[in-house]
Structure 1
Amino acid sequence: MAAVKELLLEILHSLNDGEFRKFKKFLLSAFQKDSKNIPLLLRYSNDRTAILDVMVQTYGRQSVDETREILKKLIHLLNLISLGYVVVTL
């Protein structure tokens, strides 16, 4: 499991701050969809290691699949933004 955590952490660190914020929003949605209790840390922390720990504690080995699905959504959203179909407001 340590190798999986290292890989996932590397992925999270490869995201810029804006992408990471969007990743967290998708992760929050996944928690809600799965009827999981959302830890406060997930809502308010930008510590990627801590976020990963929450993911692994919640999803275990499924963290890889959850990350893959979130990244697919993130890539799709970023493509729409780059094409001008979505306007992002902060």
Structure 2
Amino acid sequence: MNVEVDYEESLKWYLKSAKNENTSAMVNLAYLYGNGIGVEKDLTNAFKWNLEAANSGDSSGINFMFERLWILCRIMKQYYLT
């Protein structure tokens, strides 16, 4: 069974859910924005929704933020050691 996915419709419902503090929707929005799925790629919005999810205690949002912090620390270490 082939089901066509309507990412624009998904985006609409994820936004509505995220604005009602649904952390899973926040993480899904971050994924869509970060990968440009159904929407123009927007890393700022992707980061924003992951941060919102993390601030709400969502483990996926928290993991994403820790990964970005780890990357930033590695970049800073490399910059200051060279």
Which TM class, normalised by the smaller chain length? 0.3 to 0.5
Higher relative contact order (CA 8 A, sep 6+): 1
With structure 2 as the length reference, what TM-score do the two structures score? 0.37
Larger Cα-atom Rg: 2
